[in-house]
Amino acid sequence: MIYGSVCSGIEAATVAWHSLRWVPAWFSEIADFPNRVLKYHYPNVPNLGDMGTICEQKVSSIDLLVGGTPCQSFSVAGQREGLEDERGNLAIEFCRLLKALKPKWFVWENVPGILSSNKGEDLGTILGKMAQCGYGVAYRVLDAKYFGVPQTRRRLYAVGYLGDWRRSAEVLFEPEVLSGDFTTSKNPKEKTPSLVPIGAGKGSGFVDVYNHALENWVGQYAPTVTASFGLGNAIGPKVLTKNGVRKLTPLEGERLQGFPDGYTEIPDAKDMERYAAIGNSMAVPVMRWIGQRVDKVDKR
């Protein structure tokens, strides 16, 4: 499978799909630090820059387009300007790329807040444009904590297949759901999380994590890490140690997202750059699960 990636960030998709032997044809990212991470890890993969210029460039054909377009305009924590926001409108640009490039598959990610953005009309507009491009689309909200990392991170994932919605649905939903048996359906789960952040206490995950938004201690799963989770104030989860409360380290952030240790520790990297890039990324284990399902359906 040859894929193109837009809004690439630090490339959770490529980390997730490496074991499938899928090949990235190109990336599309404009932020400085993620660009440096991409160049460090994938020096031979071209970075096309602004996704709005891709249609004007001569690019190689791809089997799959993947991207998590900016979520701030749809998030319940933001101003919720939806598609009226320039960042939110990049979801429409994603559809424009689908129409121009005609990949067999696509995977698109965003925050669950898009379900209610503009009373649901924004998501309806996006899905409608995907359908107009010829894709059968399925979407589902998945939580990273069920995929092997100790982080509560709910995100909406849409999968599309050119010409057939049944293949898209087969990727995101278990057979019993597709057959109409909703009583036995459960979220997919893996074994107990093994990606344990350092200094997080006993057990298999975050035993002693503080969520300032709730003013209490939460169990073994950290609240969602965001671009600002490394700040020293009340934003984001905190860890309780024998010496008091501290913020997470970049290494812990990498582990919460399922990246290899030190993945963002490139030359001249600053901690705040690492925090922002990690918080803006996708959860690697969720993307791996989706990739494995796409691979299985595609081969059949």
Highest-pLDDT range among 33-47, 51-65, 79-93, 218-232: 33-47
At residue 57 the predicted structure's pLDDT band, cuts being 50, 70 and 90, is confident
CB environment 175-203: b (16+ within 10 A), e (fewer): eeeeeeeeeeeeeeeeeebebbbebbeee
> Per-residue pLDDT averaged across 139-154, rounded?
91
pLDDT of 259 > 60? The answer is yes
The CA angle 110-115-121, to the nearest 5 degrees, is 110
> Per-residue pLDDT averaged across 106-130, rounded?
89
Q: State whether the Cα torsion 291-76-146-239 is positive or negative.
A: positive
> Per-residue pLDDT averaged across 119-137, rounded?
91
Express each pLDDT in 81-111 by its tens digit: 555 656 557 888 899 999 999 999 999 999 9
| Domains, the chain | 2-179+281-299 (3.40.50.150)
Residue numbers annotated as active site: 71
The pLDDT value recorded for residue 69 is 85
- Check: CB of residue 135 under 8 Å from CB of residue 92: no
**Strands annotated E in the chain:** 2-6, 23-28, 64-67, 105-110, 135-143, 154-162, 209-211, 216-218, 237-241, 244-247
The encoded tokens of residue 121 equal 């009309």
The pLDDT value recorded for residue 193 is 37
pLDDT of 246 > 90? The answer is no
> Per-residue pLDDT averaged across 110-137, rounded?
90
Stretch among 20-24, 242-246, 262-266, 272-276 having the lowest mean pLDDT:
242-246
Express each pLDDT in 159-207 by its tens digit: 999 998 999 999 999 876 555 555 554 554 444 333 334 334 333 334 4
Distance (Å, whole) CA 213 – CA 77: 12
Stretch among 80-89, 139-148, 154-163, 286-295 having the lowest mean pLDDT:
80-89
The pLDDT value recorded for residue 143 is 95
The pLDDT value recorded for residue 258 is 94
